[in-house]
Each structure stands twice: as structure tokens, then as C-alpha cells.
Chains A and B, each alone.
Chain A
Amino acid sequence: MTIRHRARCRLRRVRGLRGLVLVVCLLLAGCGKQSILSPRSPQAHDIRTLWWWMLAVATIVFLGALGMLGLAWFRRGTPGLPFFGEREHVSQALVLIFGIGIPLVVLVTLFGASDVYLVGQTSPPPARDTAMTIDVIGHQWWWEVRYPGTDAVTANEIHIPVDTRVNVVATTADVIHSFWVPQLARKIDEIPGRHNRVLLFASTAGRYRGQCSQFCGFQHANMALYVIAQPRAAFNAWLANMASPAVSPTTPTARAGEQIFMANQCASCHQIRGTSAQGLVGPDLTHVASRRTLAGAEIRNTPAELRRWIADPQAIKPGARMPDLGLSATDYDDIAAYLEGLH
């Protein structure tokens, strides 16, 4: 965590000081890696505002009712109410006012604010009102990310230009998943036979964690992704690189690794554009070295971690679709060297 980042978080804390609960929440939130309380889009921001209002009203209601119970304890020896005594119609009025009257006002207000007004803000806009479309396809247990109109394919990492309305089309290759990046947008389920959509928007550049939120099997826990919002120019450069075919290996070990990769099961499941590897089961590896994480964002993409993942995926992610290949240690070294070159 950089000092600037820390300072920003502290500033946010001070600004958000609206009561004890809020402070506690933000302290716990830290810098809110995946928190709906530190939104970075107008939609997520509005939902957070709705939440604080609901919490405030709910707290008043709860404390009020708790107060009545407290009063009941203090007056446990005395029948009736203070001031009103034992008049039954006053007790009845109490039920009617607090049980029907006040709730009706609160509920109608809440319905108007959330389910008439705000729901329109968080619904997916028509595709023509957005600047670009990205396909996010859930797999057990990783995310495939495609940029229609280009050849770009990647996994577990969605790059978007900052301040741009992005139309995400969420689908699945197998079971139901749910696409959720809390700081940027509400979640949307990915369901066989349906093309669901959601608006993805980031007001500030940054890296936002998301995670599958619909139980999807053994490794549901390790199916995360990052949305990387970057300035338009940086995004364009990234996209151009993503759309290009893989670079050829330059070192002898990497060249050996390429041969082992193509000759073994690797190539039947993974695609590396520009080579004979055309498998579509696992993630596209054309630019795997440019990604920051591996295995559904479970581990960081460092040379050591990459080597560990290739050699023993089941130890890192039990139940994952990637099998133990049963190759020699040097083979794994070579494959890792090859993949590390795929920027």
C-alpha cells in the first residue's frame, strides 16, 4: 500500500464521519478492496447512499422499539402506559400507529426511492448508449473476457477505459455464475441460455477486485477477477497488444518449453494465438505473462508461482479442471520459461 493510497483512505474516512457505525465500518473496510462502501462509479455510489439512509431509518426504528421494551422492563410492576394508563384503545392505537401507519409511510418512500427511481439507474442501459461492449463468460472456475470486434481474449482481468460506459454481456460456459465487482456495479447472474447485461463504469483509474457470488462448485471460493480501469491511451495500447498474436520464444529454454507445451495436453485445452495451440477449454494464454494473477486470481503471476501452478495445480486449487500433467521438473521449468515470455 503506497503512502498516497493510505492518505487517500484516511481522507475518505474523515469525510465519511457520520457516526460511530460508519467509522467502525470504514476501519474494518480498510481500503475496501471489494467493498460496496467504497464505490468508484455513480451507480455503486448511489446504492451506498441508499444503504446509509436505510441504515439510519432502520436504526431509529430499532432503537425506538428497543426503547419500548426497555420501558416495559422499568414498568414491569405497573400495568398500562405512562400518562395514558390502562386505556385499551390507547394500546390498540399504539399497534395501529407503529404497526401500520408509520411503516406505510416509510415503505412507500423506500419503494419510490429505490424501486422506482434508483432501479432505473442500476438497470443495464441499451447497448447503443454505451461506448463499448465486453463479453464476460463464466467458467468453472475462471472468467473468460472477450472484446467483440477485436481478436483480444484474456482471462480473470477486465481492462476498461476510465470514465467510459461499458456494456458487459455476461454469459456462462457451464453452470450459473454471478459477475460482481462491488465497487463498480451491482451483480448480474450468468445463466445458461441467457445473455444478461450490466453497466460497468469506473470514475477513477484503479484496480477493482470482483468475485463470483453464485455458488458454482468446488472452487467457487477461488473464482475472482480484477477490473483495471486505465486512461484511454493506456487502454488502447493494452487492447492492441491483447489483439495481436503471441510473440515467438527467444531463449533456448523457452523454445524447449514451447515444444513441450505443443506436444502435451496443454495445447488441447489452451489457445495461444499464432501457434498450433487452439484449445478452448482453459484460458487463452496468448498474453498470459501480461496478466497480474493466475488461477481465477487466486495466486499472483510471478515466475515462481507460475511454475508452481503448472507443476501442481491440484495442490493450489483442488478440483480445478487443470490436471497434473506428470511431466519432469525440467519440463515444467521450460514451460514456465515459455509462458513468462508471452507478454
Chain B
Amino acid sequence: MATTSTRNAEAQLDLLERVWAERKGLLGWITTTDHKRIGIMYFFTALVMFGAGGVEALLIRTQLIGPHQTVLSPQAYDEVFTMHGITMIFLFVIPMTTGAFGNYLIPLMIGARDMAFPRLNALSYWIYLGSAIFMYAGLAGGHAPNAGWFDYVPLASKTYDPGNNIDFYGWGLIFNGISSTAASINFIVTIFKLRAPGMSLNRMPLFCFAFLAVSFALLFALPSLSVAALFLELDRNLGFHFYDAAHGGDPLLWQNLFWIFGHPEVYIIILPAFGIATAIIPTFTHRKMVLFPLVALAEILVAFLGFGVWVHHMFTVGYPTLVTVYFAAASLIIVIPSGIQLFSWIATILTGTPEFKTPLLWIVGFIVYFMLGGLSGVALAAIPFDQQVHDSYFIIAHFHFVIFGAAVFPILGGMYFWFPKLTGRMYHEGIGKLSFWTTFIGTFVTFFPMHILGLLGMPRRIYTYPAGMGWTFLNALESVGAYVLASGLVLIVLNLFISYFRGPVCEADPWEGDTLEWSTSSPPPAYNFPVIPTVSSPYPMWDKEDRELDKRRLERGEGLMATGHETLATTMQDAEVDEILSMPSHSIWPPVCALMLFGIFAMLLLHHYWIAFGFGVAGGLALISWHDKEAHAG
């Protein structure tokens, strides 16, 4: 009997391989709907963007290394710092967290075979790539956006910025926003409906809670940005006056719309980092998170409260005290859910038996910088103090500790942590630690002195400064720090690149990790799991009996769902088996649709509105073809 069922299981695995196989070669990547391949494409695109943003940062720091430098002209400096902001926020961090980490890991963590809408997922990626090319086309042509990443009007209006620099920004962000909107809908449905049987909401990994919170935040925040950008383009190109005070508009409308998006955005950037931290900490401390349910609630609460604080970016615009005080109070309240998470991480590390390997080191670095950035953030909620240091280098110090120290460090730690899962090989631990310490020290030297510069009155976004202000030494120090920081990042890339070819081969679960992605082989097969696992706690990999059960089911050939391109849907709250979903497979139409969208936005930028309409019609036709089902290999 046993041999028959084993043979049966092998036949079913063969069948699974064939059903989930995609095209070979380059065409396979272009038409893929596999969340892992899409995640990898996101990863490399975002990595290139990180490199571009990093080069821009080094240019800025080189220009500011001393007074009266001429590395960049004032015009070039404005374009470079604007592109640095846009790149790091819209083209690096968000695609890297939601696009790369979320895409690759969420289905694996919840025990699904793909995202809920695989073709929409592919479309998200191609739109993201398109929007990155679109915005960098401006830079390549010498017309990059140049009014800062928050692009205040009227500086960004046609009167004061007559070229099409700002149009690359306006249309580019609307274009980019479509990608994030599609991705967040996809995550919400995936997390709600595709969890493995038994993974009720209270047993869902904290990583997934973070991504759920981020997806909802994106969904509600992005419309405000898109509307703001649309108004901007209507003002600039079609004679509207939304932001024009001389014609009854209001420049503050832009600031409000932008920051209604822009502040939730900060939490959108940092919540995935919290998620990565909560994935790495239990694994390396060998214990469960302290106060798991409270941390989950805190993640959701941060995303929610983030919508009520935007005016703290506008304490100096002259609003009445009553208005500013409300937003100051709301900003202070956010400290509580952040504090819960912070001390839960610390308490878990403290009461566990931490192994300070490279991934955990990055998380410790993250905790240190999150505290520094968080504490200066609390200070900024004191309105009079904010009114002093607003738009000074104090702010630059604050948000780089939050966005680089706190949001990017976990990304870098996550790269080490999941590297064995993606490649089946182990990175070099010694160089890993070296890269951490180099980056950690570089980050401190680059950004910490900026607090002092801000207190000494140095405003942000100045391309040069006079000697004799007491700013020279600190600026030079920061620039040196920036090169140290950059060399730390280069070390990471080298470590992972060489380890991909030379690293020792490792088993499926080298860390004794706690979540389901470690249960499948490294790298995972196209169908992720031969048998959809069953879950009975938030730490499914530590429930040895459950995993034994999976193994026995595989041996018996039960529940492989090998007859079609399928995954399991479960109920939203309790994750009881609901139905078997037939999943769409690879398709050329998502990249075609993205190409049509690119055409629309390029033509809008060039004022060829009828051609843009033509691309719209073509895109609509592509959407109809989208629903074609091609024959499966099976």
C-alpha cells in the first residue's frame, strides 16, 4: 500500500511541476505571474533605484563637503535632491518592502501558492518599472523634477517652473500610484482569503499584520496624492487655478492634500520594517514575541493614527494655535503604539537567548536608530520647538534616522535573513557583520551631526553655505560618513552576490525559523508547497507535530491539488477551508497594459491628448484580452 501511495505522490508532484511551470527564458520573466519571480524583479529594480538614489545622496554630500563648492550647479543640485527624495520613497523603499519582500514572502508565510490576483500583481510590477523609467527620463533629458519631493506650489507652478520638469513628477506619481493601489488591493485580499487552514487572524504572523496595515494605509492615502498631482497638472497645463491664490485658489490646498498622503506614507514606509523586525527577532532569540496580540494591534493602530497628524508638517504656515495643538496631540499619541512595539522587541530580545548573527544585528541597529528618530520626532511635536527647527537640518537628521536607520536597516537585515530561502545558499557571516558595522557607523556619522547643524540654524535644501557659520566641520564630517555608509552598502551587495555563486549550500530551514516560508525547499518550487500546510499557532514551524502531519499527507499523496492551477481559499477570520480557487497563469497582457499606460502618461506629458486617448483605448482592448485563459500544460 505504502509504495503505491508514494508512487502516486511522486506522480502528483510531477503533475504540480508541469501545471505551475512557466515559459522559459526572458519571455518567462516578462509573462510571469509567479509572485516569487515578480518579487525578484521588484527586488532588482528597487535595488537599482537604491543605487541611483545613493549616487544622488553622495553628490549632495560632496557638494556640501565645504562652503562654496561647485560640484553641482544650483539647478543641478535642485534636481538631484528632488530625485533623491522621489527615488528613495517612491521608487526604492515602497517597491522594496511591499513589492519585493511582501510579494515574495506573504504567500509563503500564509501557506498560499500565489497572490490572490497574479496578473494584477504582474501589472503592479510593470507599472512600477514604467513609472521609474518615466521619472528618470526627465533626469536623462535634463528636465528632472526640481521643486523638492513635496513639490510646494507656487514654486512648482508653470509661472515659476515653466519647463516640463514638474510634469515628470505630477504624471509620474499618478502613474506610480496605480501600481501601489493595485498591489495593496492584492495584499489585502491575499491576506484575508488565502491563509492556510487554521491560520485564523490571531495566528497570523506579525509580518503579515504589518503588511495588512500598510496595504490599507496605501489604499486610503494614495487617492489624496493622485488628486493633488492631478490638480497640479490641470493648473500647469490647462489653466485651472486650484493652487493659485491670485485667482481664488490656495497654495495650502496642495500642502494639505500632499501631507494627508505624506504622513501616512511615513508609516507605510516604516511598518514593513516593523514587520521584518517581528519576523527576525523570534527566530534569533528563540522565543515568542512578548505580548503578540498587543503588537499586532499596535501595528494597525500606527497605520490608523498616521492619518490624523499631517498638519505637523505645516506648523509654520500660520494656522491658528487651536488647529496646530490638535495635530500636536495626535502626533504625540502615536508614540504609544510605537512604544509598545519598541519595548516588545526589546523585551523579547532581553528575555530570550539572542544569537547576534547578522540579521539580528541589523534589527538591533534598527531599534537604536528608531529610538533616535522617534525621540527627535517627539521633540518635533512640541510646536514652538518645531517652529524653530522646521525645514532645518534637524528635520533631515530626524527623518533619515526614521527612514534610513529605522526603515532601511530591517530591509538590509531581511536581505541577509531570507537570502538562504531565495538562493539555497548561505551568505558570509563575517563580511555580513563587517557590512553591518560599517553601515551602522556610517549612518551615525552622516546623520547625527545634522541635529546640531539644524540647531545652529542651517536650513535644508541649500546648495551652498557661507564659511564662518560654524557649519563647515560638521558638514565635512557628514560627507565622510556618507562615503563610509556607502561602502557598507557595497559590502552587502558584494557579500550576497559572491555568496550566490560560492556560498555553502544550506538546508530549507537554516535558522529554525518560526513561519511557514521555512517549511518549503530553498528556493521554493513554483507551487510553493506540495501540500498546503495546516496551522495551529502564530509560530507554525515550531509546532513540530503539525509539520510531521504535512509530511505524512505528502507521503500519502493527500491534498496536493495537482489537477489544476489552484490554491486554497479560507474564511476571512477563522481560516476554515472555503473553496478551491482556480488561479490564472502566465500572461503577456499585464506588461502590455503597463506599456499602454506608459504611452498615456508620456503623451499627457507631451500635451498630445488625442494620442493619449488612443493609448487609453488600446489599453482597454488589452484589458479585455487579459481575461483569456490559455491552456495549461496539464
Contact = CB atoms under 8 A, between A and B. Distances in A.
A92 B347 CA distance: 8
Please classify how large the interface on chain B is, using the bins under 10, 10 to 19, 20 to 34, 35 or more.
35 or more
Most chain B CB atoms below 10 A, which of A51, A73, A98, A175? A175
B334 to A, nearest CB: 10
A331 B328 CA distance: 57
A61 B375 contact: yes
Interface in B458-483: 458-466, 468-470, 473-474
B266 interface: no
B343 interface: yes
A175 B155 contact: yes
A120 B321 contact: yes
B512 interface: no
Interface in A179-215: 180, 182, 186-189, 191-194, 196-197, 209, 211-215
A119 B328 CA distance: 11
B245 A193 contact: yes
A43 B468 CA distance: 26
A62 B375 CA distance: 8
A99 B301 CA distance: 14
Contact of B468 (A33, A61, A114, A189): A33
A174 B74 CA distance: 19
A100 B339 contact: yes
Contacts of B287: 79
Given A54-B379, A189-B316, A214 B391 contact: yes
B338 to A, nearest CB: 8
B595 to A, nearest CB: 35
A191 B152 CA distance: 11
B374 to A, nearest CB: 9
Contact of B347 (A79, A91, A103, A216): A91
B456 A29 contact: yes
B473 A28 contact: yes
Interface stretch (B137-145, B199-207, B364-372, B431-439): B364-372
Interface string B338-350: 0111111011111
A25 B455 contact: yes
A237 interface: no
Contacts of B356: 73, 76
B456 A186 contact: no
Most chain A CB atoms below 10 A, which of B376, B383, B465? B383
Contacts of B470: 28-30, 32-33, 35
B456 A35 contact: yes
Interface in A14-33: 25, 28-30, 32-33
Interface in A248-303: 298
A116 B462 CA distance: 33
Interface in B562-620: none
Contacts of A73: 354, 356
A71 B160 CA distance: 56
Contact of A211 (B328, B381, B388, B459): B459
A318 interface: yes
Interface stretch (B51-59, B97-105, B246-254, B256-264): B246-254
B364 A69 contact: yes
B353 interface: yes
B622 interface: no
Nearest to B344: A95
Contact of B160 (A61, A111, A113, A217): A217
Contact of B325 (A28, A69, A116, A211): A116
A217 B318 contact: no
A92 B294 CA distance: 10
Contacts, number: 271
A234 interface: no
Given A103-B335, A178-B316, A187-B316, A37 B252 contact: no
B324 interface: yes
Nearest to A102: B339
A55 to B, nearest CB: 8
A51 B379 CA distance: 8
Contacts of A44: 388
A219 interface: yes
A327 interface: no
B336 A100 contact: yes
B340 A95 contact: yes
Contacts of B525: none
Given A72-B346, A123-B321, A221-B465, A104 B336 contact: yes
A182 B388 contact: yes
Nearest to B367: A69
B391 A115 contact: no
Contacts of A186: 316, 384, 387-388
A62 B371 contact: yes
Interface in B90-128: none
10 contacts: A28-B470, A34-B457, A95-B290, A99-B342, A114-B328, A115-B381, A119-B324, A175-B160, A196-B317, A220-B462
Interface of A: 25, 28-30, 32-37, 43-44, 46-47, 50-51, 54-55, 58, 61-62, 65-66, 68-69, 71-73, 75-81, 86, 88, 91-92, 94-96, 98-100, 103-104, 107, 110-111, 113-116, 118-123, 140, 174-176, 178, 180, 182, 186-189, 191-194, 196-197, 209, 211-222, 298, 318-319
Listed from nearest, the 10 A-B pairs whose CB atoms lie closest are A193-B245, A34-B457, A114-B382, A221-B462, A186-B387, A196-B318, A192-B245, A99-B343, A99-B339, A99-B340
Given A79-B287, A95-B340, A99-B344, 16 more contacts: A58-B376, A62-B371, A65-B371, A69-B349, A75-B350, A86-B351, A98-B346, A99-B342, A110-B378, A114-B381, A186-B387, A189-B318, A212-B459, A215-B461, A221-B74, A319-B74
